[in-house]
Amino acid sequence: MNLLHQRILAVVKLIPPGYVASYGQVADLAGLPKRARLVSKALKSTRDSLIPWHRVVNSQGKISIPTQEPAHRLQLSLLRGEGIEMTGVKVNLAKHHWQPSLETLLFELQF
């Protein structure tokens, strides 16, 4: 795994249950602005089962995986299982959008 993917996955690991972040937000927090597609690529390529990949959605709060793919149903199920309120495939961002605390920004992010 390359260094950029490691940075991305380190950020995704910080997203707590019941919250989501956008691909762009993860990229920004990893010190990789405008690299949202790289976040998607890193999540697709990881084999680490401890990465909460399902907590990453697009900037509109929607699941980006096509509806016909099994991973789409899995992500929807995992999000709902964490109590995340959704309308169809769209997360209630007003309630569930992750905003890292100042402590997290200062001491847990290394980028």
What is the pLDDT, as a whole number, of residue 88? 87
- Reduced to 3 states (helix: H, G, I; strand: E, B; else coil), residue 57 is strand
Q: Could you give the number of structural domains in the chain?
A: 1
Range of the domain at 47: 3-108
- Crossing angle for the helix pair 36-45 and 3-14, to the nearest 10 degrees: 90
Q: Is 81 left (phi over 0), alpha (psi -120 to 50) or beta?
A: alpha
* CB-facing half-sphere around the CA of 76: CA atoms within 13 A: 17
* Other C-beta atoms lying within 10 Å of the C-beta of residue 37: 11
Could you tell me the CATH number of the domain that includes residue 13? 1.10.10.10
User: Mean pLDDT for each 10-residue chunk of the chain (111 residues)?
Assistant: 92 98 98 97 94 98 95 96 94 97 91 73
What is the pLDDT, as a whole number, of residue 1? 67
What is the pLDDT, as a whole number, of residue 100? 96
What is the pLDDT, as a whole number, of residue 111? 73
